[in-house]
Amino acid sequence: MRNTMNISASLLVLVMGFSLVACGNSSPTAQPPANNTEEQTPAPGKQPEKSAVIEAEGILTGWADPHTVEIRVKEEPMSFQVGEDLQKSLDDIDDEDSVQFKYVEKAIEGDTTIKQLVLTEIAKVESDDDNGTNAGGNVTSDRAKTSELEVAVEGMTEKRPVTLAQGKGYSLYVFEPMVYDADDHELTMKIDPDYEVEIDKLPSDYNLKELKVDAKKELSETGAVKQLSEEKLSNGPMKEAKLFMMSQNNKKTEYFIVKELDGNGFAFHIHAPVGEPSEGFLPMVYASINSIMNE
């Protein structure tokens, strides 16, 4: 009887031992390995990269589609994406208005070689009629405030709109891509002020020979000085110039011109860097300075 009880007790101990072992092994097999958890988590997709904010100025060309606007920057057309939150900012800006804006370059997802230009800010640069910047202050002249002047570009002559600008003792007409500063007597391109004309109203007793000597000294800093003859000027817009001198290098061309307009002598220092705007710059300058009248 005692042997039977001992055997039964031993069997019970063995059974309990197997049960404990089984329970101890069940928990680890039910849990996945730690590294499996990481493999099952999907890797996040590569987000498009954005560049730093870039500031620029240009001329608004117009809408290419409901979400894309084109701006001409230094005569180069560029397309920009416009979000819904920014579209209202363009409601008061017309085509061919000068604008200041900010944008970022955003890489296209899946193709890092293509950059999408996205506008972040845009504002109109106030024109003559808005704040008198081109008008040089209050226009006191009796001349028409707006008109049209002929300008020859790329062999084609066409009429373009101009706005009257008031200088000190004279007035002149200015084309939209340009701005006139009455305080400094300077006419410049809006998109690049390095394209510049300095206007000097000469005294009645000015000495042309002295002006020529000074001009030669100034122009020689740029390159060899040339003086154009009346014959070479005869078929151009400066055919009545008293003096036409120029010099150039691979970066810019400098001009010094003396001309009598409306009974008064004027000297013009023209600075024309090498670049795309240069082709239209001089024809507009010649038309503007030929429109000068004493006031």
Using alpha carbons, select from 129, 122, 250, 273 the residue that is nearest to residue 193.
273
Q: What's the chain's average pLDDT?
A: 81
pLDDT band at 22 (very low <50, low <70, confident <90, very high): very low
Q: Are 180 and 174 in contact (CB under 8 A)?
A: yes
> Which among 2-6, 8-12, 82-86, 196-200 has the top mean pLDDT?
196-200
What's the whole-number mean pLDDT along residues 202-223? 95
Q: Residue 258 class from Cβ within 10 Å (0-12 exposed, 13-18 middle, 19+ buried)?
A: buried
Across-strand partners of 160? 149
> Which among 9-13, 81-85, 152-156 has the top mean pLDDT?
81-85
pLDDT recorded at residue 112? 65
Using alpha carbons, select from 212, 215, 198, 203 the residue that is nearest to residue 260.
203
Q: pLDDT digits over 24-76, tens only? A: 444 444 444 444 444 444 445 555 555 689 999 998 988 888 899 999 988 88
Using alpha carbons, select from 268, 11, 294 the residue that is nearest to residue 140.
294
Task: Report the alpha-carbon distance of residue 123 to residue 205 in Å, rounded.
Answer: 47
pLDDT recorded at residue 242? 96
pLDDT recorded at residue 277? 62
Q: pLDDT digits over 116-153, tens only? A: 999 999 998 875 444 444 445 556 678 899 999 998 87
**Is the pLDDT reported for residue 284 higher than 90?**
yes
**Is the pLDDT reported for residue 11 higher than 50?**
no
Residue whose structure tokens are 């090498």 = 274
> Which among 50-54, 86-90, 251-255 has the top mean pLDDT?
251-255
Q: Are 275 and 74 in contact (CB under 8 A)?
A: yes
